[in-house]
A = this chain, B = another copy of it.
């Protein structure tokens, strides 16, 4: 089983190192191969996603990804910036289905901005389409305007785009996921304004007929942003496009108060996937040894379950993480009075010991 290990920038290397230790502690043989990605790859190879890294990602059975991005690359042209690596991997590997669970761990309820009665016990799943929408739609660019009103001025434009087959494939993935959970799915769009959303909604309604056991509802994205704040537990599975999913999955993650705990998976149609923490590269705390490795460790567990067919090993990791939380161990981001503050490595130690 070949796993591409792409640590990336900022805290990426520190947190991925702990996830690798945990994988190695399972007592299984994994073929782990590391490659640079993001700013780290730009530094050594002049491109955030060098051909060798892409090749490795293609031939691996799964990818364990840290995070990319650092202010020091802000001045680079867009196509050389670290984020292009993650966009490139998603597109080249056709990782169209992004699973972003938003879970509020009972031990961490107090870390949330929200009142415990609103957020406690939250367990929702955001399924974000990852290969289409305004992220990749053509045409796009900056040009001189031909519009009568703005003639001669510069204008920037992008195309939001969804085709029926694209909506169908993410729809089926989301309905299947809902079927294994609370059997409720909320499709989020802006169909009162956007044509692409109108198509999106139509297709969701059509394919819902194949899932009579799953209850489909629709919500406009502005309302979804509100309802997540007001009553997040009313959701089960949320399915939405790339741009709305970007915004709502981050909002939902932050609502839990434990974004340092939340894994994510980005899958292709054969369940090959890229696994990364929901949080970013946090360059401000990089190298200090205080980052929370649990989201990455839990991403490795998702990898075992979805891509490598090793659900028992995934369970073992998830139980080990629960155990260290129950032991009261906390990295700085989730620390509250009465618990024990530990470093990145100490957290890794504890998970390995708990296995």
Binding site for B on A (CB under 8 A): 78, 81, 83, 87, 113-115, 118, 134-135, 137, 140-142, 145, 147, 149-150, 153-166, 190, 192-200, 221-223, 225-230, 243-244, 246-251, 253-255, 259
Chain B residues whose C-beta falls within 8 Å of the C-beta of A83 in the assembled complex: 192-193
What is the distance, in angstroms, from A315's C-beta to the closest C-beta of chain B?
A: 30
- Cα A244 to Cα B353 in complex, Å, equals 45
Chain B residues whose C-beta falls within 8 Å of the C-beta of A137 in the assembled complex: 157
Chain B residues whose C-beta falls within 8 Å of the C-beta of A230 in the assembled complex: 113, 254
The answer to whether A159 touches B162 (Cβ under 8 A) is no
- Cα A252 to Cα B107 in complex, Å, equals 27
The answer to whether A195 touches B157 (Cβ under 8 A) is yes
Neighbour of A254 across the interface among B193, B226, B249, CB < 8 A: B226
6 contacts between A and B (CB under 8 A): A78-B192, A153-B165, A158-B161, A158-B195, A226-B254, A251-B251
The answer to whether A163 touches B159 (Cβ under 8 A) is no
Chain B residues whose C-beta falls within 8 Å of the C-beta of A165 in the assembled complex: 150, 153
The answer to whether A164 touches B158 (Cβ under 8 A) is no
What is the distance, in angstroms, from A108's C-beta to the closest C-beta of chain B?
A: 14
Chain B residues whose C-beta falls within 8 Å of the C-beta of A192 in the assembled complex: 78, 81, 83
Chain B residues whose C-beta falls within 8 Å of the C-beta of A153 in the assembled complex: 163-165
The answer to whether A156 touches B145 (Cβ under 8 A) is no
The answer to whether B221 touches A142 (Cβ under 8 A) is no
The answer to whether A160 touches B161 (Cβ under 8 A) is no
- Cα A78 to Cα B113 in complex, Å, equals 38
Q: Which of A161, A165, A193 has the most CB of B within 10 A?
A: A193
The answer to whether A134 touches B160 (Cβ under 8 A) is yes
Chain B residues whose C-beta falls within 8 Å of the C-beta of A162 in the assembled complex: 155-157
Chain B residues whose C-beta falls within 8 Å of the C-beta of A114 in the assembled complex: 113-115, 229
The answer to whether A157 touches B161 (Cβ under 8 A) is yes
Given the interface contacts A157-B160, A163-B155, does A135 sit within 8 Å of B226 by beta carbon? no
The answer to whether B199 touches A225 (Cβ under 8 A) is no
Q: Which of A87, A118, A134, A194 has the most CB of B within 10 A?
A: A134
What is the distance, in angstroms, from A159's C-beta to the closest C-beta of chain B?
A: 6
Chain B residues whose C-beta falls within 8 Å of the C-beta of A141 in the assembled complex: 195
Neighbour of A145 across the interface among B78, B149, B157, B163, CB < 8 A: B163
The answer to whether A193 touches B87 (Cβ under 8 A) is yes
- Cα A259 to Cα B113 in complex, Å, equals 18
Given the interface contacts A155-B161, A165-B153, does A222 sit within 8 Å of B194 by beta carbon? no
Chain B residues whose C-beta falls within 8 Å of the C-beta of A254 in the assembled complex: 225-227, 229-230
Chain B residues whose C-beta falls within 8 Å of the C-beta of A243 in the assembled complex: 190
- Cα A313 to Cα B271 in complex, Å, equals 64
- Cα A215 to Cα B115 in complex, Å, equals 32
Which residue on chain B has the smallest CB distance to residue A155? B163
What is the distance, in angstroms, from A144's C-beta to the closest C-beta of chain B?
A: 10
